[in-house]
Amino acid sequence: MGLAQLIKTHEQEVLARWKEMVRTLSDARHLSEESLENHVPDLLDWLAVRLRERDTADVYGSQMLSRVHAFQRVGDDFDLVEVLAELAVLRDVVLGLWVEQPGDVSPAEVLQLNRDLDDVVAVCTTEFARQVMIRHGASKEATEAVSP
- The total domain count for the chain is 1
* For residues 71-92, average pLDDT: 86
pLDDT at residue 56 is higher than 70: no
Residue type, 84: L
The CATH number of the domain holding residue 35 is 1.10.490.10
The DSSP letter of residue 132 is H
Residue with the larger pLDDT of the pair 67 and 125:
125
Q: What is the pLDDT of residue 59?
A: 65
Q: Cα(69)–Cα(86) distance, rounded to whole angstroms?
A: 11
**97 touches 14 (CB < 8 A):** yes
Find the domain containing 45 and state its range.
Answer: 3-145
Please count the helices (runs of H) and the strands (runs of E) in the chain.
Answer: 8, 0
Please state which of the ranges 11-20, 88-97, 123-132 shows the lowest mean pLDDT: 123-132
**3 touches 100 (CB < 8 A):** no
Alpha helix (H) ranges present in 3-39? 3-9, 11-22, 33-37
